[in-house]
Homo-oligomer: A and B are copies of this chain.
């Protein structure tokens, strides 16, 4: 029962360790009879190859590192699931590092320096473990590329934009454009927007999409219709209130996440504004709760699973060095639910 290795097998089967290795990996022909004998011993002794030794010799670990800023954030698990999906097909294993950003430093931006250290430590550890590449999931890609490249390992970012390395993202601007397009197709022309914080790239891209659609459809751009929130439910609540109290309020609002959309919904409900009859709302994220609120929220679903798959696919091709460049962009999907209807004014 103690530590059986290839040597023990060899001894007991009266062959050399080389032969056992060949049987194990099928790297060379082995006479059927010998093979059988070896396999029998392997079975008897409950032998299991030691991947550590294997890795040392072969210089391949079949393992990649995945660094997540926070595994508990709503969109991360699905990305990991996507990575896994693709990794499984290539027998790649995942060494997971959870930075636990939120719990460790909260949203305290003054501690961002600490965070850089966490991230770099994480990379260091993974490199020591000889991962063949790294995928980073999060919004703060903190100076990791140089570190990783020093050791000739590839890194792929997802859920964030990295300008010094491959990053897998979805079509943010297009999705926003499409959402507005959808509202227009329902007959809306007075469309407001509640954005997230403007230091976030998705906010800006989504705003671009909104703006692009507006000009394209020759709709008036009213500065009063632009509200900047902070991603939180309360800000959605407050800003929806501001929009509704305008002399001539919008008939539809594009809200850049479901949380703020939920706030907007609550605000409307309290003011007796009936959604979708009096006001249409489109959110972003397709958070779980969006389906359960009443009315349920029409929202833009992010292609998280596909992002995971593509991130892994890109990494895999970098690892194999086949020069193939993966540059697909997974697409968002609009989930139609109850919070959008034709505006009342648009006489049916």
Residues of B within 8 A of A71 (CB): 77, 80-81, 84
Q: Is A287 at the interface (CB under 8 A from chain B)? A: yes
Complexed CA–CA distance, A151 and B3 (Å): 8
Q: A93-B95, A100-B85 are in contact. Are A74 and B292 (CB under 8 A)?
A: no
Complexed CA–CA distance, A49 and B124 (Å): 10
Q: How many chain A residues have a CB neighbour from B under 8 Å?
A: 52
Cβ B288 vs Cβ A46 within 8 A = no
Partner of A52, one of B52, B76, B233: B52
Q: Is A130 at the interface (CB under 8 A from chain B)? A: yes
Q: Is A329 at the interface (CB under 8 A from chain B)? A: no
Q: Is A8 at the interface (CB under 8 A from chain B)? A: no
Q: Is A48 at the interface (CB under 8 A from chain B)? A: yes
Partner of A288, one of B48, B61, B74, B269: B74
Partner of A84, one of B100, B266, B287: B100
- A14 CB, nearest partner CB in chain B, Å: 25
Complexed CA–CA distance, A212 and B96 (Å): 43
Q: Is A262 at the interface (CB under 8 A from chain B)? A: yes
Complexed CA–CA distance, A46 and B148 (Å): 12
- A118 CB, nearest partner CB in chain B, Å: 10
Cβ A50 vs Cβ B130 within 8 A = yes
Residues of B within 8 A of A98 (CB): 80-81, 84, 94
A residues 1-43 touching B (CB-CB < 8 Å): 1
Residue on B nearest A73 in the bound complex, by CB: B77
Complexed CA–CA distance, A100 and B287 (Å): 20
Residues of B within 8 A of A52 (CB): 52, 55-56, 61, 129-130
Q: Is A72 at the interface (CB under 8 A from chain B)? A: yes
- A97 CB, nearest partner CB in chain B, Å: 8
Complexed CA–CA distance, A46 and B146 (Å): 13
Cβ A128 vs Cβ B266 within 8 A = no
Cβ A150 vs Cβ B80 within 8 A = no
A residues 67-95 touching B (CB-CB < 8 Å): 70-72, 74, 76-78, 80-81, 84-85, 88, 93-95
Residue on B nearest A99 in the bound complex, by CB: B84
- A237 CB, nearest partner CB in chain B, Å: 12
Complexed CA–CA distance, A98 and B262 (Å): 32
Q: Interface residues, chain A, CB within 8 Å of chain B? A: 1, 46, 48-53, 55-56, 61, 63, 66, 70-72, 74, 76-78, 80-81, 84-85, 88, 93-98, 100, 103, 124-125, 127-130, 150-152, 233, 262, 266, 269, 287-289, 292-294
List 12 A-B pairs, Cβ < 8 Å.
A50-B56, A66-B96, A76-B77, A77-B77, A84-B98, A85-B100, A94-B96, A95-B96, A233-B292, A287-B288, A289-B293, A292-B292
Since A1-B150, A51-B130, A93-B97 are in contact, a sample of 4 more A-B pairs with Cβ atoms closer than 8 Å, ordered by chain A residue number, is: A50-B128, A52-B52, A95-B95, A289-B292
* Across the A-B interface, the 5 shortest Cβ-Cβ residue pairs: A289-B289, A96-B96, A84-B98, A51-B128, A72-B77
